Amino acid sequence: MKAVRTDRELECPRIDAGLRARGVELVTLPDSVTEAELAREVADADLLLMCYTPVTPRVIESAPRLKGIVKYGVGIDAIDITAARRRGIPVVNVPDYAEETVAEGAFTLLIALAKRLPAITGAVAREGWIWPEQRWLAQDIAGKTVGLVGVGRIGRGMARIARQGFGAHVMGFDPYVDTATMRAAGVEKADNLQAMLAASDFVTIHCVLNEQTRHMIGKAELACLRPSAILINVSRGALVDEIALVEAIVDGRLAGAGLDVYAVEPLRKSGHPMSQLFGRDNVILFPHLTFYSAEAMQRLEADVLARCDEILEGRPVTVRSRDPRLLAQSTGVTFT
């Protein structure tokens, strides 16, 4: 048996050691691998594990022995699910290893910007001390409104932290979550995205990327936000029109942004659509690591190895995701 794991920069020692202990030949490839290189390497592979690297129709068609594709993470937008289904190759992700971890990470970005931590700690590092001048004024979270774009498991975790921990009012926009479910999570359901954005002091994004959600926070939506508002995105960069976001930040039409994800990754300090945001003390650029805790990685690696065992042993692979693209599969899968 042969397995290929892309994105080896994301260290997964338990996955690698576990596969090798099972007698699997494991090849790890860098984030920079080209489509042609990946196609060549999977030509004799039984299993493909990926995190960020695109899995295109060409890659899938180049792998006649491929028995399954495992996304060691949540988002599946980089995998051509249609091409995999056409070949009868099951695709599985790990949807529930880091909900609380990412919610904590999102709130960390929010509170850091609300309390002006980047600006104040930067000033202290430069000057040794600062006095309480108007330019250092922070914002309280208690009594403010947190707007959630997406109220799935991570969004509901964020709602609990904001409401129970900090006394914020929480609103949520999610066409796929009903009023009763939101109410049980302490969230007021909003039926109109722009109206919710206009009413929010802090906005956090927690939804999947697909053709319906791409650039759902665009120029018009950003224009609805108050100049004092802070935007947090820990889901997928392309959910936001990043060019419009950069313009809003640079023009002072938005108080701050905490970003963990980008349409083009990795970031670069020059020549990247987001390069202008480097060095701004009202922006936190986090390198797609809000999921990365010791506990979350233990859960992820254990779950991935369990899915790999199912695939390599010829058993149906367990799909726990509610993503309709994965639920539409009919070959080599079982659902829980």
Answer for the pair 98, 300: CB distance below 8 angstroms, yes or no: yes
Query: Is 236 a known active-site residue?
Result: yes
Answer for the pair 109, 234: CB distance below 8 angstroms, yes or no: yes
Query: Is 322 a known active-site residue?
Result: no
In the set 236, 242, 307, 310, the catalytic residue is 236
In the set 265, 268, 315, 322, the catalytic residue is 265
Answer for the pair 205, 111: CB distance below 8 angstroms, yes or no: no
Query: Is 35 a known active-site residue?
Result: no
What one-character DSSP code corresponds to residue 316? P
3-state class of 285 per DSSP? Answer: strand
Single-letter amino acid code for the residue at 271 = G
Helix intervals (H) in the chain:
13-21, 35-41, 57-61, 81-87, 99-114, 117-127, 153-160, 166, 179-184, 193-199, 219-224, 242-250, 294-312, 324-327
In the set 288, 301, 307, 310, the catalytic residue is 288
Residues known to be catalytic: 236, 265, 288
